[in-house]
Structure 1
Amino acid sequence: MRFPKFLVGMLGVLIAFAVTTYMMSNSLWTAVIETLICAVIIQIGYFGAVLFLVMRERSRNAERRKSLVSDEASSQTPSQPFNTSATKAP
């Protein structure tokens, strides 16, 4: 998810959360404080999700490099120092 899309979604959620909290508590300060706490929790979740995706991609790249190295090593046949077919007598 791109950041602008996330930002719009997060603001929508926070506005809905603030309105709901204000309606339930009838206190502006309670709504503001709880909305700020909710914003911090959402940011921590977003950071954790991005960190997870980066770490997963890094491990995938490491696996790809390992498989490329092993494929190259297995596809190379050892060369023989002498051509045995040319040295055989007819």
Structure 2
Amino acid sequence: MTSHYSSPTASYGTRINGLAIASLVCGVAGVLALSVVFGPLAMVLGVVALRQRSADEGLGFAKAGVFLGAVDLLSYVVLLTAAAFHGDFVSYLGS
């Protein structure tokens, strides 16, 4: 007896919005380093991806990118404020 079933192909997969992915990547990069650069970029890319909400998927990626971008900027402001009150970042880096 032969089987008429074939394995599924990936040709009908969902497409994820590239801006949403870029937003998430910039948000993660901003958490790790250069929050002042990648934070705003993640937020802008995420908002643009959320406004594009077409057939492309990636709503969660875009929301996460916006959130991480906001965390990046908030952490930068907190560190900048702490440095203004204490004079330098050396005490916060453990050196």
Query: What's the TM-score, normalizing by structure 2?
Result: 0.35
**Larger Rg computed on CA atoms:** 1
Query: What's the TM-score, normalizing by structure 1?
Result: 0.37
Higher helix share: 1
